[in-house]
């Protein structure tokens, strides 16, 4: 698994959001963007992480940062997650995990001795020129917001 670091060009993407609208990295050209990857909508850690990002939207706006979450979930699951918690920002559907692979977060995991492929919870701050400003791999759900705001 290759990882991204500060100064690298952010991999381009175009994915459907929870409202089945196409969202691409290019949509945020000229703006800073927090991209965070989470394993599965409506699971405990992902809920903590996504609600924290939602609650910090005013702080992100003050810092000039937009936000998107990305998981392998389908639009219907993302929509249900957004509606249940009132998240209010794009939740993108990387069902074939191509974007996760490009960002180096699709990796082998293990649970109860069983190995499987899944998302390594990670986040990236992309600068206004489309370059990685900061990359945080294997983060705790509660660290996404402080990491991004601390980098501002």
Say which residues have a Cβ less than 8 Å from residue 146's Cβ, sequence separation at least 6.
Answer: none
Per-residue DSSP letter, 12? P
- 67 burial (CB, 10 Å; 0-12 / 13-18 / 19+) is buried
Beta carbons of 82 and 88 less than 8 angstroms apart: yes
For strand 65-71 and strand 32-37, is the pairing parallel, antiparallel, or unpaired? parallel
Of 46, 65, 99, 105, which residue is the catalytic one?
46
What is the three-class DSSP state of 84? helix
Name the helix (H) or strand (E) containing 47: helix 44-55
- Whether 93 is a known active-site residue: answer no
Give catalytic residues, as residue numbers: 46
């Amino acid at each position: 698994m290759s990882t991204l670091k500060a100064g690298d060009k952010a991999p381009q993407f175009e994915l459907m959001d929870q409202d089945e609208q196409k969202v691409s990295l290019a949509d945020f050209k000229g703006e800073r963007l927090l991209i965070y990857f989470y394993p599965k909508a409506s699971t405990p850690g992902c809920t903590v992480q996504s609600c924290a990002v939602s609650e910090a939207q005013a702080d992100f706006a003050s810092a000039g940062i937009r936000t998107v979450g990305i998981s392998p979930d389908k639009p219907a699951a993302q929509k249900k997650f957004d509606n249940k918690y009132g998240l209010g920002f794009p939740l993108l559907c990387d069902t074939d995990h191509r974007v996760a692979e490009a960002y180096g977060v699709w990796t082998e995991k293990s649970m109860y001795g069983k190995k499987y492929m899944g998302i390594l919870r990670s986040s990236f701050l992309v600068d206004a020129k489309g370059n990685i400003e900061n990359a945080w791999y294997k983060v705790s759900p509660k660290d996404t917001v402080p990491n991004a705001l601390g980098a501002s």
